[in-house]
């Protein structure tokens, strides 16, 4: 897909985005177009910049160079149209489950408006807890809940602000394997009902390959025509369209699934495997790439 064809169709659009911290180049020449309603999972080696990419979309960070847009407008400071869920639960221990969900709206309102709308907001929060299957726990405190239940409260806390994009940074990383798999199925069911855009960062390759409509592989392990001494940041080295249906977790046991996970592990995580930038696996129909003349000296 050509870059000029993707911009007007994209909810998230990055063109030639670089991000550095002082002299350290983290992300280099990131090109990305994401349509409304996609569920993107993101994997890559530790320190490659996955969470940095998430923060750029959220607006917590600004690109050092390049174009970054949400809904056709430059990304500014973080706003309620982009919700965030972290690995460490963003819950207040002194508040009940219900009040933890309500606070997502309460903090957005002047005091006088809150007094007028408090009852309606609490009713709305109970609706989200019903969707999260947590109504019976509304008046408990976070320490009384399991890890999976706490994470569902954190998701409700993000959703009540009605974001168009839900950003998730290793949200299930602290959960045990059984609970983690339950949460994967729960999130798929939720996404299929709500149909918002989800951007999900994980270090778990099976999780990334199982969830979502699209898998992005971010890695600093690649080569180009700039020579061995060039300083390189991470790029999107793989971009795959995933089959999307209400999958059973049994798919994880198939040879095809295992082969795909192995391929992602090799191309993104193996420092000995360095594909040339011209030959990245950018198979998703919305992928596009803008290499500099130095990167691709043809």
As averages over each run of 10 residues, the pLDDT of the chain (298 residues) reads 69 96 94 95 94 94 95 88 80 92 84 88 90 91 90 87 91 85 87 89 94 94 89 95 76 92 94 93 94 81
| The predicted structure's pLDDT at residue 3 | 62
What's this model's pTM, rounded to 2 decimal places?
Answer: 0.90
Residue 173: both structure tokens together: 């990383």
Position 2 scores a pLDDT of 61
Residue 142: per-residue pLDDT: 92
pLDDT for residue 276: 93
- Quick one: pLDDT at residue 147? 85
Predicted local confidence at residue 27, as pLDDT: 97
pLDDT at 245: 58
């Amino acid at each position: 897909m050509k870059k000029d064809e993707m911009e007007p169709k994209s909810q998230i659009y990055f063109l030639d985005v670089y991000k550095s911290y002082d002299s350290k180049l983290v992300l280099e020449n990131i090109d990305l177009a994401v349509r409304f309603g996609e569920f993107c999972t993101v994997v890559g080696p530790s320190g490659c910049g996955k969470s940095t990419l998430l923060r750029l979309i959220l607006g917590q960070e600004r690109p050092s160079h390049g174009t970054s847009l949400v809904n056709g407008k430059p990304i500014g400071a973080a706003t309620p149209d982009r919700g965030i869920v972290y690995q460490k639960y963003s819950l207040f221990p002194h508040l009940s489950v219900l009040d933890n969900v309500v606070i997502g709206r309460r903090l957005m309102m002047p005091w006088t408006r809150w007094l007028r709308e408090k009852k309606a907001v609490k009713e709305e929060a109970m609706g989200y807890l019903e969707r999260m299957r947590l109504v019976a726990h509304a008046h408990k405190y976070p320490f009384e809940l399991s890890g999976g239940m706490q994470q569902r409260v954190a998701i409700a806390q993000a959703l009540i602000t009605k974001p168009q994009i839900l950003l998730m940074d290793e949200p299930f990383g602290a959960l045990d394997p059984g609970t983690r798999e339950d949460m994967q199925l729960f999130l798929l069911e939720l996404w299929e009902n709500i149909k918002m855009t989800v951007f999900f960062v994980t270090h778990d390759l099976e999780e990334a390959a199982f969830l979502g409509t699209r898998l992005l592989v971010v890695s600093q392990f690649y080569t180009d025509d700039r020579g061995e001494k060039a300083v390189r940041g991470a790029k999107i080295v793989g971009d795959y369209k995933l089959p999307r249906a209400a999958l059973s977790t049994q798919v994880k046991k198939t040879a095809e699934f295992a082969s795909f996970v192995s391929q992602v592990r090799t191309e993104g995580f193996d420092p000995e495997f360095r594909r040339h930038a011209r030959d990245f696996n950018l198979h998703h129909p919305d992928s596009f790439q803008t290499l500099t003349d130095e990167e691709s000296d043809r």
